[in-house]
Chain A
Amino acid sequence: MKVKIEVMLRDEILDPQGNTIKKSLNNLGFKRVTSVRQGKLIEINLKSKPSIQERQTIKKMCEDVLANSLTEKYKIKFFKK
C-alpha cells in the first residue's frame, strides 16, 4: 500500500517560492494564474493495508518528523499499489 503525504506551508505563512513561480507563469503567458503555493510530496510504501493503529503511527510520523507543525500542514492519502 502506498501512502502519499502532501506537506504545505500553513496558509498564514508567506510563500516566496510560490509567489515567484506565479510571476514566472504569468510572464510566460499564463495570465489566469492568480496565486501559487508550493509544497512537498512524500511517498511511503507499506507492506500491506495499515490497521487503525498503524494509521495513527503514520499521523505521528507526520507530526514528529515529516512536517513542522508550527509552519506546515499535511494531508495523508492512501493508495492501493
Chain B
Amino acid sequence: MKVAVVVFPGSNCDRDIFSAIKKITGTKPSYLWHKEKNFSKFDLIVLPGGYSYGDYLRCGAMASHSPIMNEIKKRSKKGIPIIGICNGFQILTESKLLLGSLLQNINLKFVCNKAKIKVTNNRTIFTNKYKNNEVLKIPIAHMEGRFYCDKYTLKKLIDNEQIIFQYCDIKGNLKDANNPNGSILNIAGISNLSGNVLGMMPHPERCSEKILGGNSGIRFFESIFESFN
C-alpha cells in the first residue's frame, strides 16, 4: 500500500503520522510537499495536523488553495482514500471535500486532553476494526474544533451515515459535558458520501503506541491497511 503524507508550510503532525503508519503497517509513507501538482499513484493520502499557513485568514483556508489540492480533489473523485486529521480536517472542509466547517471552540480555550470518542459508524474502510459504538480515548489538541453545519446538511450527514466519530461519555452517551468544543451533535469526525474521505479532529497517530499513553489509534490504521489488502 502506497501512502502519501502531505506537508504544508506549518504542518507539524506529518512525522507522527509517518511514524505510526510505518510502525503499524510496515509501510513507509512518502512525504508530498504542498506544491506538487502531479504525483504518482497513492493508495492513501493523509493531510496531517498542525498550523498550515499559520492559520492565517481561517484554519485550512490558505492550504485549501495550495497547488496540490487540485490533484487531491481529482483523486478523491476516483475513490482514493483521503484522511484529514485536525488541521487536515479543516483543510478538507475548506476545500469542500467534506461538508461543514470547523469554528473556534465555544469556550474559547485551546483544548488538549484525551477525549472519549464513540465509533458511530464502523462500516467504513477507516473504522471496520472497531466495534460499533465502541468508546475510544484519543487525544485532541485544538482551538478551532467546533464542527458546524446547517440543519439541512446535518440531516444529510445523519441519513447517509456520514457521522463517523462523536464525543461521548465512558458509556457512549452524547452529553454536553463531554463535548470539548461545542460541535453540533458532538461530531468529532465525518466522511464524505462515498465514504473514501474522512476528516476527524482527534489524533489517532498520537495513541498508536502504549508508551504514549494509549493504543486506540492502532486499529484505525489497521482498518485502512486491511481494507486495501
Contact = CB atoms under 8 A, between A and B. Distances in A.
B94 interface: yes
Interface in A7-29: 13-14, 16-17, 20
Given A13-B148, A20-B108, A65-B65, A71 B101 contact: yes
Contact of B101 (A14, A17, A20, A68): A68
B148 A71 contact: yes
B88 interface: no
Interface residues of A, number: 10
A16 B103 CA distance: 10
A52 interface: no
B171 to A, nearest CB: 28
Contact of A68 (B61, B107, B150, B182): B61
B100 A70 contact: yes
Given A65-B61, A65-B65, A71 B104 contact: no
A66 interface: yes
B158 interface: no
B149 interface: yes
Interface in B9-51: none
Nearest to A66: B57
Contacts of B94: 68
B107 A16 contact: yes
A65 B148 CA distance: 19
A68 to B, nearest CB: 6
B114 interface: no
Interface string B98-117: 00110111111000000000
B148 A16 contact: no
B58 interface: yes
B87 to A, nearest CB: 15
Contacts of B101: 68, 70-71
A66 B65 CA distance: 12
B65 A16 contact: no
B106 A14 contact: yes
28 contacts: A13-B103, A13-B148, A14-B106, A14-B182, A16-B104, A16-B105, A16-B106, A16-B107, A16-B108, A17-B104, A17-B108, A20-B108, A65-B57, A65-B61, A65-B65, A66-B57, A68-B58, A68-B61, A68-B94, A68-B101, A70-B100, A70-B101, A70-B148, A70-B149, A70-B150, A71-B101, A71-B103, A71-B148
Interface of B: 57-58, 61, 65, 94, 100-101, 103-108, 148-150, 182
Interface of A: 13-14, 16-17, 20, 65-66, 68, 70-71
Given A70-B150, A71-B101, 6 more contacts: A13-B103, A16-B104, A16-B105, A65-B57, A68-B94, A68-B101
